[in-house]
Structure 1
Amino acid sequence: MFWWQTQAGDGLTVAFTSTAAGNLALHVGDDPALVLRRRRALEAHMGVPAGSLRFMNQVHSAAVASVSGPSPAGPGAAPAAGPLTADPLTADALVSPDGSVPLAVMVADCVPVVLTGRNGAGVVTGVAHAGRRGLLDGILANTVQEMAAAGAESLRAWIGPSVCGECYEVPAAMQREAAEVMPELRSTTRWGTPALDLPAGARTQLEALGVDVVRLPGCTLESTDLYSHRRSSSAGRFAGLIWRN
């Protein structure tokens, strides 16, 4: 079920799911009931209460939400108005100011980032969805700022698998536009066309903010045990996770 996991200290676990966990997204045309069952199975595997893992409705924004307490939808229940077809909270990063809420970020080529930091009372945790637009608009800086506002110091981040800089082909004009803002994004595909290196951009941005970064290997386009929207437009989503044991 997990593609990779580690003990992050302070009683925290960081993990990234594989395709063995199944599609975890409600917005890709999958049966919502099946998605919710997979989420419940994931929570059981993590050892957290049913319905406690917080997902978000990701829209490639730079918006960060601070979360605490149980999910507003309850333990997998659908809203009274009808079937659950989207996550209720629209944002592209989540922060748990006391580290008590299990957090999830979903991707299928974009960069999943999981973060921790210490404050006087314990820990602060966060997750962020960093695609091209989000990186350029400051999603990672906003996430770090929200964690710092909660008192977090000595931040660490794990950059999970995404499409690599040798596979993420883009039009030349898009590459130029992105590289004007973040030069480290500029890359070239293995076949010699313009590309963007999103993980490199995420790492450079986080390190400039004073975050200690671990970048995991793995390209979603090349790895069949990870979902990739570029490999299949109907692909599901895998998740980056952080929770307290």
Structure 2
Amino acid sequence: MDTPFWWHEDAADGVRVAFTSVRAGNLGTHVGDPAQALENRRRLEEHLGLESDSVRYLHQVHSSRVLDASVTEHPDPGEPEPEADAWISPSGAQPLAVMGADCPPILLAGRTGRSVVTAAAHTGRPGLLGGVLENTLRAMRAHSPELREPGTITAWVGPGACGRCYEIPEEMVEQIAADRPAIRSRTRWGTSALDLRAEAGHILSQAGAEVVDTGGCTMEDASLFSHRRSAQQGAAPGRIAGIISLT
């Protein structure tokens, strides 16, 4: 098939990061046809050169919970997935995925002298405000204290609804932005909005991570799935994924 990626990079130390496009098909088993989503996942693994059923997915619930993939049971395809919104692989051995369709998926790699710690986080508004990124960084650093040094963790911020499109009521913006000025935004038509990517980038950079913002607005770019756009236009729903693995 054509490349299933919206953006991908083979980074240092054998780390591969990728964000899919609609060409990969819907990867969420909770929307659309679950059997087709599983087949899309299988084809994506084949494209990445990974073993079948090796990429780990989560049942995402907009929480701040972080799991350790090395000790979390890996269910069979079609079985319930572990419930959380982020996880880490202490050795990078487990390919990790998080899905999105307006909420930015974020992939992280921490390089030490001995190994690579990888992570993936789903930054929907409740989880982002609840500390999912802070919890992910804390979990990575618990396994490798060297990652407390600035610049040892790189974070790739994937596509999501941008601050010009993510409209929410003014009262809610005022409440949230009081302690988080980076999250405040305005839509292209002048109403109140949030910029989740800007807030995620601020949290990560303040914590000493190097941030790579890949850009991309799910609501403006038809090559990406968008929950809000599909609801407005009656289009078929779908989920993209961010995937981090070792090459």
Moved more, 12-21 or 231-240: 231-240
Q: The residue matched to 1:232 in structure 2 has which SS?
A: helix
Mapped partners of 1:73, 1:143: distance in 2: 22
Q: Provide TM-score, normalisation by structure 2.
A: 0.92
**Superposition deviation, residue 71 in structure 1:** 6.0
1:194 paired residue number: 192
Quick one: distance in 1 between partners of 2:172 and 2:22? 30
Task: String of CA shifts for 1:121-175, please: whole Å, max 9, x gaps.
Answer: 3100000000111111100000000000110520000001111001111011111
**1:110–1:162 CA contact under 8 A, matched in 2:** yes
Higher relative helix content:
2
Matched, 1:133 2:126: yes
Partner residue of 2:8 out of 5, 8, 19: 5
Structure 1's consecutive aligned runs of 4 or more residues displaced over 6 angstroms after TM superposition are none
Q: Which residue of structure 1 aligns with residue 85 of structure 2?
A: 92
Q: CA deviation at 1:70?
A: 9.0
Aligned residue identity for 1:210: G
1:178 aligns with 2:176: yes
CA–CA separation in structure 2 for the residues paired with 1:139 and 1:72: 22
Aligned partner (choices 96, 105, 111) of residue 103 of structure 1: 96
Residue type of the partner of 1:103? L
Structure 1 residue 69, shift from structure 2 partner: 7.2
Deviation per residue, 1:207-230 (Å, 9 max, x gap): 111100011121100000000011
CA deviation vs aligned residue, 1:184-235 (integer Å, no higher than 9, x gap): 1111111110000111000000011110001112110000000001101352
Match of 2:28 in 1: 25
- The aligned length equals 235
Amino acid at match of 1:62: S
1:148 to 138, 141, 153: 141
SS at structure 2 position matched to 1:101? coil
Letter in 1 for 2:9: T
In the alignment, what sits opposite 1:44?
46
State the secondary structure of the residue aligned to 2:26: coil
CA contact (8 A) 1:119 1:150 kept: no
Paired residue for 1:63? Answer: 65
1:14–1:181 CA distance, 2 compared to 1 (3 A): same
Shift of 1:6: 0.5
Give 1:120 deviation, angstroms: 4.2
RMSD between aligned residues:
1.4
**Unmatched tracts of structure 1, length 5 or more:** 79-83
Q: Taking every aligned residue pair, what percent have the same amino acid on both sides?
A: 49
